Every structure is written in structure tokens, then in C-alpha cells.
Chain A
Amino acid sequence: MSSLAGQWNYFLVIALMMIGFYAVIARGNMVKKMVGLTIFQTSVFMLYISMGKVSNGTAPILTGDPQTLYANPLPHVLILTAIVVGVATTAVGYALIIRVYESYGTIEDDELIKMIEAEDAEDSEDMNGETQSA
């Protein structure tokens, strides 16, 4: 039981991970998908950051005292990189959503799929009509 209580951070991470992943898969709205994706990524940040915790450790700043116990700074540095990657992904994702909305007028998956299927069907019907000059 004590091990379960001692690992509460992992349960939190798994709960967040599943909430985020569920939103990515189950939601048809592109913005909600992006929100889910961000939650999913954040849960991984928490997984890494909590693994760097050392009991009674302080912030990893050199004090000159060899007795000082430090937290592990490496996972934090890794996640700093991953956060930047996450921000970039979010930016590209929302930029794409804006462009999709501008050209399709909707960001709902089911409506988009219908419109794309209609365009695919058009393509295979009249091919020679839409051709441009070289």
C-alpha cells in the first residue's frame, strides 16, 4: 500500500495521459484534438520531471558542500527541450486548423471527411475537365 501511495505521481501521469489520448482519438473537433494532444504531451513532461526528484534533494546548484544532495537536473533539461518541441507542434497544429477553417468553413472531422470524399469522387469522375495548361 505504501508503494502505491509513494508512486502517486505516476498514477496522476497515467490518468492525464489517458484523458489526453482519449480526447485525441474520440473528439471530432480539431481544436479539441489539439487540446487533448497538449494534455497528452504534458503528462509525459510530468513523468520526466517527477523522475528527477531525489528525496531531500535541493535544487541542483553547486554549493561547495560535498554533503549536499541534489535533484537530478537531466530530466528537467530534457523536458525543457520537449516543451519547446511541444510549443512548436501546437503552433503548427493551430495554424493548420486556421487554414482548414478558411478553406472548408468547418473544423469538425465528420463534416470534413464528407467534403473530402466528395472531392475524391469528383477527381475520379471527370479527370480531363480540370486539367490546366502546361
Chain B
Amino acid sequence: MMQHLPVLQVLLPLLGAPLAALLRGRDMAWGLALLLTGAAFLISAILFGLQYSAGEALIYDLGGWPAPLGIVYVIDAASALVLPVVSGLAFVATIAARRLVEAEIDARDHALFYAAWLLTIAGMLGQITTGDAFNIFVFLEISSLSAYALVAMGAGRDRRALPAAFNYLILGTVGATFYVIGLGLLYMLTGTLNLTDLAERLAEVESTRASFTALAFIALGLFLKMALFPLHFWLVPAYAHAPSAVSALMAATATKVSVYVLIRLMFGVFGVEFNGLADAIGLLILTLGIAGAFAGTLAAIIETDLKKLFAQSSIAQLGYMAIGIGAMSMTGLAAAFIHLFNHALMKGALFLAIGAIAAQVGRASMQTIEGAGRQIPITMTAILVGGLALIGVPLTAGFISKVYLVRALLEQNFWLLAALTFISSALALAYVWKIIEAAWLKERPKGAPVLVETPVHYVPAWLMVLATIGFGIFAGPLVDAAYAAAAVFIGGAR
């Protein structure tokens, strides 16, 4: 049983999906989704412990076929860190989903909703675990296709979800196809799809133009999937018009998985010493990252819809992760992993809290939360703490992210970039202040619908808020794990 854990956490949600589609009774499908995501979370926590105590990568041969012939699942320090983030967020989002889905989605579609929900989670967990480059593509498409359907389910409440889902589908498919083109070139050069073998054999053909073209295609495809500026235009409408539960799940996990896959391919396969990587692609990622940080933050400041506001801020936060990757150093990569982890917690908290409001009054905007600070103080405080964490205020997890990011930049003497990172973080104060102003400094207008909150509304969001504060104060274990994850890719195997 124990040796099958790496595959079980993918298989459970994957096989649970068709079962969920068949369940009809009230809450049956939700119960199954809760059970399976909970099991996946438990398994990934155990895997983290097993990997930590083993101190080396756990390899699972699918169907008993060892590495060059079969597909392997690899639990190393990096995947062991990202797995619990995704499955944990998925579990908490599933807890909250019951109320949000009841409020926003037609009862007939609940079973299908949870089927797509489980599929997208299975796809994400698969992308993280697998050690086969083509298998990553298959899981990428499993998670993306079900995500398009989930976004489109927002149409019952807001028909703009449909064109948003369509654009997401077009750009997502283009991104995935670019990835496959790059992979085809790599396979032609090396004759293998196993990530470890790829890294070894690529060293022999390192200076060929084909290998650089392959890197360009793969990187571009994944930039699209992770919504790196300026390839982010699909993200904001998709998050804003999707059902609230879907916004929360995707904002917290979907783009992070693509960031992880980019790191795995760029550093795990091509390696930091790869010809032209640091000069060309590294510089490109740094530039796009800082541009995204400013573009996202500025767009968030003028936004009045809360879902759109925090979707724009996601663009900025992904920019910070890109800066960590583009620094091409141990600290930079560790900072990217730390921020990946922390940002998932913050955005999870924010979107779950916003969802609780949106499910009651249709949508959460600066007008609908006017004076809400007194009416639903617990929910609004969750949004406030999440916002402060996005800025990077001390005692929140966001502070730790920014400290390591700036440290990575200063290590390489990128003074200007460090200053720009600081300025763009400070700018985030503007949109958090707008929320404080609307929620606490204004009176609730007469005739505005009464907002209510009970533990079902705020407990899921507060679980994430407490984690944000917890990892902000006791950051040691996370930082250690992030450095261990970065060590897998830099100064390790290659």
C-alpha cells in the first residue's frame, strides 16, 4: 500500500470523477469530492514526510516498468513541496464549494460540476508527480479541459463566462501545443521523453540550434499557461466570471502548477548552464516578470470588481515568481518556490472570502462591500489580511516571499530590479486601501442587501488566513523545504 502512494493521489480523484458524474442524490457528489481530495491531501502530506526522511527522490514505476521503458512518477523535494499545496488548497476549496455551488449552479449540474472539479485536480497532481515529459502534456490537458468546462459553468449566473471560457480554451490549447512542438524537437534530438534521461542526453547536443528552439517553444507554451505578462489576457475574464468556487481553486493552484512545470523543464532538463539560457531566456523572464508586477498592480488599482482586482494582482504575483526564476540562482529559485506556496495560501483565502460575498449578492465589488466591515467583520478581516499579505507586510507569509526575492536579486547585484520589486509591492497598498475605505470607512447604504456570515462562510477562508499568518511567523520549515526543492534543480544532478 505505502509504495503505491505516489500514484494513488492522482488515481483517486481521476477515478472518482466518472463516479461523481453518476451520483445524483443531494450532496452525494460533493461528499465524494470532499473524501477524495481529503485523501489526496493526506497522501501528499505523507509523501512529503516520506521524502523528507528518505532524503532522496522516491521513484514509482508505473505498471512495474522501470525508467527508460515505462513512465515513472517522481517524488523529489520539489514535487513533495508543491503536491500538498495543490491538494491542500483543493481540499479546503472543496469544503467551501458546497455552499458556493449551491448558490451559483443549477442543481442538475452539480454531479457534473464535481466530476470536472475532480478531473482538474487529478490533472494538476499528475503534472506535478510525473517524470515523463509527454505525460505532463496529457495531465496538462486533462486539467485544462475540465477547467474550461468549470469556467463555462459560471454562465448560469453571468453569461460572460462563456466567451471567457472560449478564449481560455484557445490560448490554453495554443500554449499546450507549443509545449508539444518543443517536446517533439527534444525527442528528435535525444530519443527519450523521461525527464532525467532528457537532461543527460541533452548535454551532448547542447549547442545545436534545435535544442534552443525546443527550449523557446516549451518556455513560450508554459508562459501562456502560467499567464506571464503579456500573455495573461485569458486569465482575468476567466477568473472573474467563473463560479466562485472555481475562481478560488484556479487562482490558488492552476497557474502555480505551470510555474512548477516551467521550473522542472527549464532547470531540471535544460539546466542553468545551458547555452544562452541565463542570458536570453533568463533576462526575458526577469523583464516580463517585473513588467507584469507593475502592469498587474496598476490594473488592480483601477478595478472595482473584487474578483477582477485580485485576478489582476495574480498577474503581478506571478511576475514575482518569474523574477525568482529569472534570477537563475539557488536563492532565486527558492524564493520562487516560497512565493508559489505563500501565494497559493493568500489567493485561496481571498477568493474563498470573496466567494462567500459573491454567492450572497451576485458579485463582490467596491459597491457591494460598502460598509460591510461592520456587517460581516470576520469575512472582511480575512480579505484584509490576505491583502496585507499580498503587499508583503511583516508577520504574513507575503513578507517572507519578498525578503527572499529581494535577497536573490541583491545577490546578483540587480539593484534596480530589487528597487522596482519593492516599489510595485508598495503600490499594492493602493488597492488594499480602496477595500479598507469601502468596507470600513463608508456606511452601509440604505436598502443594500444584508450580508450574513456563519462559520460555513468564513471557516474555509480563515483556514487559509491562519496558514498565511502561521507561515509568516514560523517560516523556517518552509524556507528549508524551498531550498531543498531548489537544490534538486541547481547544483544537483546536472
Contact = CB atoms under 8 A, between A and B. Distances in A.
Nearest to A78: B134
A44 to B, nearest CB: 6
Interface in A81-134: 81-82, 85, 88-89, 92-93, 96-97, 99-100, 103-104, 112, 116, 119, 123-124, 127-128, 130-134
Interface in B169-207: 169-170, 173-174, 177, 180-181, 184, 187-188, 193
Describe A's contact surface by its main secondary structure. helix
Interface stretch (B31-39, B158-166, B332-340, B381-389): B158-166
A44 B304 CA distance: 42
B368 A97 contact: no
Contacts of B159: 103-104
A93 B169 contact: yes
A123 B304 CA distance: 9
A5 B320 CA distance: 47
B493 interface: no
Given A75-B187, A128-B445, A134-B449, A123 B152 contact: no
Given A37-B170, A75-B187, A103-B159, A96 B152 contact: yes
A24 interface: yes
A85 B159 CA distance: 26
Contact of A112 (B163, B193, B451): B163
B174 A37 contact: yes
Q: Which of A30, A78, A88, A130 counts the most chain B CB atoms within 10 A?
A: A78
Contact of A119 (B160, B162, B184, B448): B160
A123 B305 contact: yes
Interface string A22-64: 0010000010010001001100100110010000000000000
Contact of B173 (A75, A78, A89): A89
Contact of A127 (B137, B160, B368, B451): B368
A30 B166 contact: yes
Nearest to A51: B188
B10 interface: no
Given A78-B134, A89-B169, A116 B163 contact: yes
A48 B184 contact: yes
Given A99-B162, A116-B163, A131-B362, A41 B449 contact: no
Contacts of B173: 37, 41, 89, 93
A89 B149 CA distance: 11
B166 A97 contact: yes
Interface of A: 17, 21, 24, 30, 33, 37, 40-41, 44, 47-48, 51, 75, 78, 81-82, 85, 88-89, 92-93, 96-97, 99-100, 103-104, 112, 116, 119, 123-124, 127-128, 130-134
Given A17-B181, A124-B304, A131-B449, 11 more contacts: A24-B174, A44-B180, A48-B187, A51-B184, A85-B141, A89-B169, A92-B148, A96-B148, A100-B162, A104-B162, A131-B362
5 contacts: A41-B173, A41-B177, A44-B177, A85-B137, A93-B169
Nearest first, the 6 A-B pairs at minimum CB distance are A127-B367, A134-B360, A103-B159, A131-B361, A96-B166, A85-B141
